[in-house]
Amino acid sequence: MKTRTLLTIISLLPVLFSCGGSSSSPSAPGAVPGKVPSTGGPREIVAVVANELFSDSLSAVLEEELSPALYGMPQAENETKLYIIPATNFNNLYQAHHSLVFVDKTDSIPEIKNARNVYAAPQQIVSIKVNDYMDLRKILQGRSDEIIRKFLDADIATLQHKLSRIAHSRIKYVDDLGVKMTIPNYYRPVMAHEDFVWLLKDIKKGKHLGTVNILIYKYPINDDDSYIDQISLRDSITKKYVHGQMAGSYMEIEKNYYPLSVETELGDMFAIESRGLWRTEGDFMGGPFINYTMWDDQTNTIYGIDGFVYFPSQDKSQYIFELEALLKTFQISGR
């Protein structure tokens, strides 16, 4: 296909993909018969604080530990959307929320417990008992990452289910890579080669225009290859295929804000998750990205799946979260 640039990808390819046609779907993951369906958007957490503990000091601890800054964003954005209310305000509206944290008063040893589906389903609940805000800080400092991940994983499962209902049933170019993924029908292919596919959706907020993008690529390892790291591989792929408007410009990872990489699993495969910022060499574009790189030992092939956002001066965390949910549906066809 003809090479396109980041800003001029506006024409739709011929219809070489199809959308799922069924409007029916099984129950959402975690749904429980007889339980009220839970409410609330992705990444939202409601913290319910006992009246005698409710204070600016305790709220500051909750915000610091349960709504930290999200790594890899060009502007300050938080990992979650945290709402803090006193216990007297905990009514039916809040009871159905999918992610609840209770902070109650105790005169004994502080403790933390988990529960599920108490008021609605699916619902994750964390109950914490403390003497004061200093106890809360101590108990959360060692557990906040685990708590946030529990909530976000549940949100991802719910979002994946929702997006699967409006997904393309197949995209030829993705099939040709030997890959299966949930791709909502508002994404379109804009470039494809035998080892690379670029999918895109347009976004708009007022007069502001942007794009959300998915890259899928594979790299067969040969005897001449020594060590291959996920950052250098991504840079080589985007330099080859993802160009800016200016002649000779191309996407690369911002090295002055080096990506945060962690080991994880994707399906049954070992993976490295990387988050950071991308920029366009020779142009003035940039934004956040999330990447998963996997090695398939059965075919000695490296697979990369990447999501990046271009939406200048606008919040982008919700799009990175959607991309995380979509990328985590990755599978190698036939497995």
Residue pLDDT, tens place only, 304-323: 999 999 999 999 999 999 99
Full domain range(s) for residue 290: 17-21+169-332
Secondary structure class of 222 (helix, strand, coil): coil
CA distance 311 to 158: 25
* Whether residues 143 and 286 fall in one domain: no
Whether 33 maps to a domain, the answer reads no
Mean pLDDT of the chain: 90
Q: Which of 131, 162, 193 represents a domain boundary (last residue)?
A: 162
Number of domain units in the chain: 2
Residue 34: band (very low, low, confident or very high) from pLDDT cuts 50, 70, 90: confident
**How far is residue 42's CA from residue 223's CA, in Å, rounded to a whole number?**
44
pLDDT at residue 279, rounded to an integer: 96
Distance CA 320, CA 137 (A): 28
Query: Above 50 in pLDDT, residue 10?
Result: no
**Rounded CA separation 229/3 (Å):** 26
Residues 152 and 264 placed together within one structural domain of the fold: no
**186 and 221 part of one domain:** yes
Is residue 117 a part of any domain in this protein? yes
- pLDDT tens, position by position, 133-148: 999 999 999 899 999 9
For 74, half-sphere exposure in the C-beta direction (CA atoms, 13 angstrom radius) is 19
120 shares a domain with 174: no
Last residue of a domain, one of 133, 162, 191: 162
11 within domain boundaries = no
Structure tokens at 318: 């919700």
Percentage, residues of the chain above pLDDT 70: 90
pLDDT at 286 over 70: yes
pLDDT band at 29, cuts 50/70/90?
A: confident
Q: Which of 15-24, 45-54, 91-100, 164-173 has the lowest mean pLDDT?
A: 15-24
In SS3 terms, 62-120 reads as HHHHHCCECCCCCCCCECCEEEEEEHHHCCHHHHCECEEEEEEECCCCCEEEEEECCCC
> What is the token pair recorded at 123?
């619902």
What pLDDT band is residue 62 in, cutting at 50, 70 and 90? very high
246 and 195 share a domain?
Answer: yes
Judgement on whether residues 139 and 235 belong to the same structural domain of the protein: no
Q: What is the largest CA-CA distance in the chain?
A: 69
Which of 103, 136, 162 is the last residue before a domain boundary? 162
Per-residue pLDDT at 2 exceeds 80 = no
Distance from C-alpha of 308 to C-alpha of 323, rounded to nearest angstrom: 8
Q: Identify whether 38 is part of a domain.
A: no
Is the distance from CB of 245 to CB of 283 less than 8 angstroms?
A: yes
CA distance 158 to 174: 24
CATH number at residue 270: 3.40.1000.10
Residues 205 and 286 both lie in one domain: yes
52-78 burial by CB neighbour count: b if 16+ within 10 A, else e?
Answer: ebbeeebbebbeebbbeebebbbeebb
Asked if 133 and 182 sit in the same domain, the reply is no
> Mean pLDDT across the stretch 13-41?
63
pLDDT digits (tens, 9 = 90+) for 255-271: 899 899 999 999 788 99
In this prediction, residue 26 carries a pLDDT of: 54
Mean pLDDT in residue range 68-75:
96
Tokens linked to 90: 């905990």
Q: Are residues 222 and 315 in the same domain?
A: yes
Nearest by Cα to 77 from 126, 43, 49, 40:
43
243 confidence band (pLDDT: 50, 70, 90): very high
